[in-house]
Amino acid sequence: MQQQPTSFSFRRKALATAALLVACAHPAWALVSFEEVKRDFRSSDTAVLDRNGELLQRVRTDPTVRRGQWTALADVSPALRTAMVLSEDKRFYEHSGIDWRAVSAAAWGNLWNTRTRGASTITMQLSGLLDDDLRRAAGGRSFTQKIGQTVAAAQLERSWRKDQILEAYLNTVPFRGEIVGIDALSRTLFSKAPSGLDAREAAVAAALVRAPNAKPAVVAQRACEVLRVMDAGQKVDCEALDMFTSAAVQRRAFDANEGIAPHAARRVLREIRDANAGAAPTPALPQKGKDKEASVRTTLRAPLQRFALDTLQRHLRELRGRHVEDGALVVLDNATGEVLAWVGSSGPLSQAAEVDGVTALRQPGSTLKPLLYGQAIAEKRLTAASLIDDSSAQINTANGLYIPQNYDRQFKGPVSARTALAASLNVPAVRTLVMVSPESFARELRAAGLPLRESGDYYGYSLALGSAEVSLLSLTNAYRMLANGGRYGTTTLTVRPPVPAADKAKAAATPPLLDPRAAFIVGDILSDPNARTRTFGLDSILSTRFWTAVKTGTSKDMRDNWAVGWSQRYTVGVWVGNASGASMWDVSGTSGAAPVWAEVMRFLHTREPSRAPVPPAGLVEARVEFGLGTDGNPLEAARTEWFLQGTEQPLFALDTGVGTSTNGPSARITAPADGTIIALDPDIPPLRQRVRFESEGRGVQWRIDGKHFARGNSAQWLPWPGRHVIELVDANGKVVDQRRLEVRGAGVVTKSARK
């Protein structure tokens, strides 16, 4: 009597027959090589490199999957390799792609409806990961797919080594959610490289392959089983493992944007994407580097970027007690416009680290003054030696009186334009803008790349003091224009191809944005330590051992502090403040951004000299003297000064406006303005509502409505409703100046008022 075949032998023969038929019908299955799989592997990140190929930043550019770098099998911890094989394929190193013992167990289990591990080997799983036609669907694989997977696994085993199969499997297997591959899993769940995974972490990783999206308790139970097999005979604390697993599977610690230049990296990738939108791929797009990951090379210098970031963070830690936590820095190459360093924020010190301080718009304060004086000198409205009155000014505008104040709320009297700019005096700058006009200055600023949102008339005379908002990048590039003799150029984060000789000649023939002679004079003023002594003193942080020109600025309410300047080759801009716009506490022009600027400049010129620029043609150097002030001494010491040819003169004396003339009146009222209307506030006690009178001249007295009131250059008056005449009387009793004003509102009769 013939023996009936067993269920297992029948299934095995049927499977082998089906496999043979499928193999004949689909000979192309699994012919892909290990080298091709590794070559076509794509990280979800793009590597952003410096100009020499050094890694600066990794930025996630594929939002659909989280995939790290390809990891060689030798760089995977032995514990993980062991856990994966024990969990998924115990006889991985024995079979040839198909584990017939597992197939037998699975068939027997199916026959008796019992639960088994399944017969899918690591090689079979890999074949399903490599071929879209064999990929597992939501409802499982079809019978045809299972046969194809078996055939593909057999072919893989014939053409690949075991270590290649396991390496490819570990790099392509999905784990949990969007995580694919062991590198992304290790860094996301365990915050470490795959080489550092211990037995407990390896058990959790292996458990996730079987149930990638299961609840933490289910994953922990499975991990405990894996750990028991790994540590045969050893007691496993499954309760502790459950707590560990629950914490691990919820962690998202892997920051794909790791590195030292996150803002620059995102900027350059965005620029490349925008430049190539709708176009065919070009060499500007991220390319595969030697390590088979997408990469893009920038103009940044990694050592400089690292130093700039460390310097900014260290200085901000020192300012922590002054309510300042944010900062930004940019370094430009004067000749090419290449960005050499781009620090967008203070990183972990900031509560808004994602805000890019290099491109954010903020009020620049006094850093617009060099551009203003440059325009005034180019238009021959001023020379560096012209006298400008630094005294109380009340300028009539369409919105009322504009009364500028200096940083220290003191006035220096008549000063030269050189002193006014270098010492950053506000009132002379506003008087200069009156000559230039806000609209004309705004046009020049826009031409220099500063993104003014409104017209010059909208900002009015406060534009001289930086009331418009600009970015650190655009402001630094405008200073680069000064460094380049008034020639404007754009900046770049990617290396540009060499400029043809014809284009260079054409650019050289293009008129500069600013007269090169005026740009030179501005640079000469900003490099003059003696000229800035009235505000910054002789021993200033702004003074360097090599040639540099620099200007600081502070915006209204001390919200922003700037230091921007250039050397022979580089232009450096620094901003410190708060991304929230909150005011800083006691941060001056030399304690905020300037120390960072000075350190970066010293780093740039450690082994590289910086020499003063050569004066352009059309400049005249001449000796000048200054007339006497009210104290009988010269207004400023005699010196040699630079002039646009034809504007030079030997003597500059007091004037009622700007320039040279005879002395003005010996005494005058500087505040309040004639016709001022004062409204009393009924909610403020009358004794606290005072009007301040200011004057210039010696031995003066004040009269109110013909009655003596006070002596000296300043006085405070308790206002009383009505129209009043304020008179200034000299030592001889002669009225030298007067103002009319009106006080509106109800007053309270007091003893002092009756007097």
Note the pLDDT tens digit of each residue in 270-307: 988 887 764 444 334 455 544 456 889 999 999 999 99
d(CA 146, CA 149): 5
8 A C-beta contact, residue 223 and residue 211: no
Cα 88 to Cα 47, 120, 206, 209, 362, distances in angstroms? 33, 8, 8, 8, 58
- Name the token pair of 18: 């089906």
If you search the block for the tokens 């403040």, which residue do you land on? 577
3-class secondary-structure state, position 255: coil
Residue 503, pLDDT score: 72
Compute how many other C-beta atoms are within 10 angstroms of the C-beta atom of residue 517: 24
Residue 164 binned pLDDT confidence (cut-offs 50, 70, 90): very high
Query: Do the strands 701-704 and 722-729 form a parallel or antiparallel pair, or are they unpaired?
Result: antiparallel
pTM of the predicted structure, to 2 decimals: 0.74
Nearest alpha-carbon partner for 743 in 727, 719, 707: 719
pLDDT-above-70 percentage for the chain: 81
Angle (CA) 598-600-606 rounded to 5° is 100
Nearest to 43 by CA among 239, 379, 238, 294: 294
Q: What is the CA radius of gyration of the chain?
A: 38
Residue 644 in this model has a pLDDT that exceeds 70: yes
| Mean pLDDT for the stretch of residues 453-460 | 92
The whole-number average pLDDT for the span 550-568 is 93
- Of 467-476, 606-615, 665-674, least confident by mean pLDDT is 665-674
Residue 111 or residue 155, greater confidence: 155
Considering 198-202, 280-284, 410-414, 630-634, the range whose residues carry the highest mean pLDDT is 198-202
How many Cβ atoms from other residues are within 10 Å of residue 433's Cβ?
28
Q: Left if phi > 0, otherwise alpha if psi is -120 to 50, otherwise beta: which for 655? A: beta
Among 447, 499, 505, CA closest to 477:
447
Determine the pLDDT at residue 2: 44
pLDDT at 212: 83
Q: Are 148 and 192 in contact (CB under 8 A)?
A: no
Reported as half-sphere exposure (CB side, CA atoms, 13 A), residue 559 has a value of 15
Instruction: Return the closest-CA partner of residue 620 out of 653, 647, 587, 660.
Output: 647
Question: With 70 as the cut, is the pLDDT of residue 28 above it?
Answer: no
Residue predicted with more confidence, 655 or 538 = 538
For residue 16, CA distances in Å to 10, 93, 107, 159, 722 come to 10, 22, 14, 20, 113
CB-count exposure of residue 42 (10 Å: 0-12, 13-18, 19+): middle
Across the chain, mean pLDDT equals 84
Inter-axis angle of helices 100-111 and 7-25, to 10 degrees?
A: 120
State how far the Cα of 394 lies from the Cα of 391, in Å rounded to an integer. Answer: 10
Residues 160-175 as b or e (16 or more Cβ within 10 Å = b): beeebbbbbbbbbbbb
Instruction: Tell me whether the omega of the peptide bond preceding residue 672 falls within 30 degrees of 0, making it cis.
Output: yes
Q: Using a pLDDT cut of 90, give the percent of the chain over it.
A: 50
Cα separation of 713 and 728, whole Å? 9
Computed from CA positions of residues 81, 83, 87, 91, in that sequence, does the dihedral angle turn out positive or negative? positive
CA 37-41-47 angle, 5° bins: 150
**Residue 743 · residue 721 · CB < 8 Å:** yes
Whole-angstrom CA distances from 519 to 54, 382, 401, 516 are: 37, 13, 33, 5
**Concatenated DSSP letters for 636-664?**
S--EEEEEETT---SEE---SSSS--S--
The whole-number pLDDT of residue 393 equals 65
Location of structure tokens 């029948």: 10
Is there a contact between 624 and 650 (Cβ–Cβ < 8 Å)?
A: yes
Higher per-residue pLDDT: 149 or 126: 126
Residue 322, token pair as written in the block: 């002054």
Please choose, from the candidates 131, 99, 137, 138, the residue with its C-alpha nearest in 3D space to the C-alpha of residue 117. Answer: 99
Please give the pLDDT value at position 686: 67
* Nearest of 374, 572, 604 to residue 480 by alpha carbon: 572
Transcribe 323-364 into DSSP letters. Answer: T--EEEEEEEETTT-BEEEEE-S-GGG-S-TTS-TTTSEE--
Categorize the per-residue pLDDT at 659 as very low, low, confident or very high, splitting at 50, 70 and 90: very low
Q: If you average pLDDT over residues 518-525, what whole number do you get?
A: 98
Residue where the block lists tokens 């995977």? 76
Confidence of residue 127 (pLDDT cuts 50, 70, 90): confident
Condensed to tens digits (0 to 9), the pLDDT of residues 66-76 reads: 898 899 999 99
Cα distance from N-terminal residue to C-terminal residue, the chain? 142
Give the model's pLDDT for residue 403. Answer: 63
Q: Give kind and range of the element (H or E) at residue 676.
A: strand 676-679
- Nearest 5 degrees, angle CA 469-CA 450-CA 339? 110
State phi, psi for 191 to the nearest 5 degrees: 55, 40
Pair of tokens at residue 348: 């972990």
Over residues 309-333, mean pLDDT: 95
Q: Is 211 left (phi over 0), alpha (psi -120 to 50) or beta?
A: beta
Q: Is the pLDDT of residue 312 over 90?
A: yes
Residue that wins the pLDDT comparison between 393 and 527: 527
What pLDDT does residue 399 have?
Answer: 56
Which two three-digit tokens encode residue 264? Answer: 């620059």
446 contacts 453 by C-beta, under 8 angstroms: no
b/e per residue 641-664 (b: at least 16 CB within 10 A):
bbbbeebbeeebbbbeebebeeee
Q: What is the pLDDT of residue 236?
A: 83
Give the pLDDT band (50/70/90) at residue 142: low
Least confident piece of the model among 134-138, 345-349, 485-489: 134-138
Task: Catalogue the E-assigned strands of 104-234.
Answer: 179-180
Q: Which amino acid is at 550?
A: V
Top mean-pLDDT range of 82-86, 207-211, 367-371, 743-747:
367-371
Q: Of how many residues is the chain composed? A: 755
Number of H helices, E strands in the chain: 24, 28
DSSP state at residue 95: S
Q: Are 67 and 181 in contact (CB under 8 A)?
A: yes
**Of the candidates 538, 536, 539, 585, which has an alpha carbon nearest to the alpha carbon of residue 561?**
585
pLDDT per position as a tens digit, 81-104: 999 999 888 888 888 778 667 555
- For residues 454 and 446, what is the distance between their CA atoms, to the nearest angstrom? 10
* Structure-block tokens of residue 403: 């009364």
* pLDDT for res 292: 52
Please tell me what DSSP assigns to residue 165: H
**What pLDDT score was predicted for residue 82?**
93
pLDDT tens digits for range 714-737: 898 888 888 999 999 987 788 888
Q: Is residue 138 predicted with pLDDT exceeding 70?
A: no
Phi-psi region of 147 (alpha: psi -120 to 50; beta: other; left: phi over 0): alpha
